[in-house]
């Protein structure tokens, strides 16, 4: 992805910036589309992972729906041409304003996260003389075996409705005349690489759908959420997630009844490998105990390492052509922000590095640019696109 010519071209550009590999994005979308269509599955793109306008336009071209978590995401999805009938709206704290906006736009479905929210949507829909379509986000208490900061499907998490509350949900659904029950929704966490976890999720979904059907509810939509992980260690050799195996688990283990639709909400797996953060070494600080590479990018551009102890492969592009056998040095690769946690990674093995060297922080397409901030009154990070 970073050949000699590309690196020479990047060298002359002002850093830091996100560098989008659009070819990787397209190939990933194609792979996901092919693997999901084979089983008739519907994929909604979880916009929170990356709402860069060009990225959204490309994703929409492939016919995916949109999974939104704010009124502004709903607006952006519509502005970028996602069909309203393919927009779902999730989130544990939807405001009245956001619910009203989604009602006005007649989106496909609200994924409701509490019994109180059901009543609020019902009241707001009634005031507009509308019927809101609803899926219930249920907490299946399945352990995602991922980092605890990005686990969402356990009883102790704030998301979703716990199964012991389902009788209350059933009563609410029966009493709320302005709600139309479509189905059930789950999302157990992010960066999940163990397919056994999804198998366990299927088992729980099957049990929960039986519970609803035993009480006379018809389930039209089974929404299994997202969470499929990507390979942060090997972005060049393994840039596309194994969508085949992922969808196959659901095909095999989910009890899909005639007429039911199966929905997915993938974010990271669709966009993660499609961007790198490109930065420059500002200073090399050789200390007694540690050597530091101080970059011109930090937690304001990519906060994942600082917030979730997330691993991103770091490469010195300017020294890429140097022999693999040349001596390597250990550096703590840090940013310029006035916070001790502003460190991308400690003790990174890199060739001897110098002021002005270009550094790539790989696999930064998901939850990268969108989580950037202007803390320390920094400039907003730029984006550059390449067809490679
Ligand atoms: N559906 C729901 C309801 C979600 O909450 C999420 C992500 C997704 C789908 C998409 O999950 P994905 O396929 O991207 O794993 N900022 C964190 C990740 C937070 C995920 C939030 N929810 C990170 O950088 O690791």
Average pLDDT score over residue span 359-384: 97
How many angstroms does the Cα of residue 60 sit away from the middle of ligand 1? 19
Task: Give the domain range for residue 261.
Answer: 23-272
What mean pLDDT value characterizes the chain? 95
pLDDT the model gives residue 6: 93
**Percent above pLDDT 70 for the chain:** 96
Return the CATH number at 293: 2.40.37.10
Average pLDDT score over residue span 183-210: 96
| pLDDT, tens digit, 9 for 90 and up, residues 62-86 | 999 999 999 999 999 999 999 999 9
- Token pair, residue 228, equals 């499929």
User: At CB < 8 A and 24+ separation, what contacts does 166-173 make?
Assistant: 166/138, 166/208, 166/211, 166/212, 168/115, 169/115, 169/118, 169/136, 170/212, 170/215, 170/217, 172/115, 172/118, 172/119, 172/122, 173/118, 173/134, 173/136, 173/217
- Token pair, residue 204, equals 């729980």
Same domain, 227 and 320: no
Same domain, 95 and 221: yes
| pLDDT, tens digit, 9 for 90 and up, residues 123-174 | 999 999 999 999 999 999 887 776 666 666 566 678 889 999 999 999 999 9
pLDDT the model gives residue 142: 86
pLDDT the model gives residue 328: 87
Same domain, 291 and 192: no
CB 66 less than 6 A from any atom of ligand 1: no
pLDDT the model gives residue 162: 93
Q: Does 201 score more than 70 pLDDT? A: yes
Told to judge if 109 belongs to the known catalytic residues of this protein, a careful annotator would answer: no
CB 351 less than 6 A from any atom of ligand 1: no
Confidence of residue 340 (pLDDT cuts 50, 70, 90): very high
Nearest CA to ligand 1 atom 6: 226
Return the CATH number at 267: 3.20.20.10
Confidence of residue 326 (pLDDT cuts 50, 70, 90): confident
Average pLDDT score over residue span 292-316: 97
Nearest CA to ligand 1 atom 23: 367
pLDDT the model gives residue 155: 66
CB 153 less than 6 A from any atom of ligand 1: no
Residue 33 near residue 25 (C-beta atoms within 8 A)? no
Complex-level ipTM: 0.99
Ligand 1 binding pocket mutation candidate from 268, 271, 306, 309 (most atoms within 8 A of CB): 268
Distances (CA, A) of 123 to 1, 99, 160, 172: 53, 11, 20, 12
CB 227 less than 6 A from any atom of ligand 1: yes
Same domain, 160 and 302: no
**Percent above pLDDT 90 for the chain:** 91
Nearest CA to ligand 1 atom 4: 187
Atom of ligand 1 nearest to the CA of 189: 15
Point out the domain boundary residue: 272, 289, 311. 272
Q: Does 282 score more than 70 pLDDT? A: yes
Average pLDDT score over residue span 20-26: 97
How many angstroms does the Cα of residue 130 sit away from the middle of ligand 1? 30
pLDDT the model gives residue 323: 61
Same domain, 228 and 93: yes
Point out the domain boundary residue: 272, 298, 324. 272
Q: Does 305 score more than 90 pLDDT? A: yes
Atom of ligand 1 nearest to the CA of 190: 15
Average pLDDT score over residue span 215-220: 98
How many angstroms does the Cα of residue 13 sit away from the middle of ligand 1? 32
Same domain, 340 and 222: no
How many angstroms does the Cα of residue 322 sit away from the middle of ligand 1? 38
SS3 354: coil
């Amino acid at each position: 992805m970073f050949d000699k010519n590309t690196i020479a071209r990047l060298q002359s550009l002002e850093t830091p910036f996100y560098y989008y590999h659009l070819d990787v994005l397209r190939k990933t979308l194609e792979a996901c589309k092919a693997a999901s269509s084979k089983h008739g599955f519907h994929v909604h793109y979880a916009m929170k992972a990356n709402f860069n306008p060009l990225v959204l336009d490309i994703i929409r071209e492939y016919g995916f729906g949109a999974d939104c978590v704010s009124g502004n995401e709903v607006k952006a999805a519509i502005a970028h041409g996602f069909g309203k009938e393919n927009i779902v709206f999730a989130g544990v704290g939807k405001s009245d304003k956001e619910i009203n906006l989604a009602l006005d736009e007649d989106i496909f479905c609200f994924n409701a996260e509490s019994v109180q929210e059901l009543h609020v949507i019902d009241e707001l829909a009634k005031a507009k003389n509308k019927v809101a379509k609803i899926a219930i986000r249920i907490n299946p208490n399945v352990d995602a075996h991922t980092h605890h900061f990005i686990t969402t499907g356990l009883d102790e998490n704030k998301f979703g409705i716990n199964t012991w509350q389902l009788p209350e949900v059933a009563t609410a659904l029966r009493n709320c005349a302005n709600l139309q029950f479509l189905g059930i929704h789950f999302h157990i966490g992010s960066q999940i690489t163990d397919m056994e976890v999804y198998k366990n999720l299927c088992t729980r979904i099957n049990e929960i759908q039986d519970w609803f059907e035993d009480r006379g509810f018809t389930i039209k939509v089974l929404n299994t959420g997202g969470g499929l992980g990507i390979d942060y260690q090997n972005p060049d050799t393994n840039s596309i997630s194994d969508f085949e195996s992922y969808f196959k688990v659901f095909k095999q283990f989910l009890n899909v009844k005639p007429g039911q639709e199966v929905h997915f909400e993938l974010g990271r797996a669709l966009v993660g490998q499609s961007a790198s953060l490109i930065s420059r070494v500002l200073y090399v600080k050789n200390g007694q105990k540690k050597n530091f590479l101080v970059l011109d990018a930090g937690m304001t551009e990519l906060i994942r390492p600082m917030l979730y102890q997330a691993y991103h492969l770091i490469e010195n592009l300017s020294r890429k052509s140097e022999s693999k056998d040349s001596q390597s040095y250990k550096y703590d690769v840090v940013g310029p922000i006035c916070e001790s946690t502003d460190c991308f990674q400690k003790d990174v093995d890199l060739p001897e590095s110098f002021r002005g060297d270009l550094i790539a922080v790989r696999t930064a397409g998901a939850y990268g640019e969108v989580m950037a901030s202007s803390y320390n009154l920094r400039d907003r990070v730029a984006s550059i696109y390449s067809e490679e």
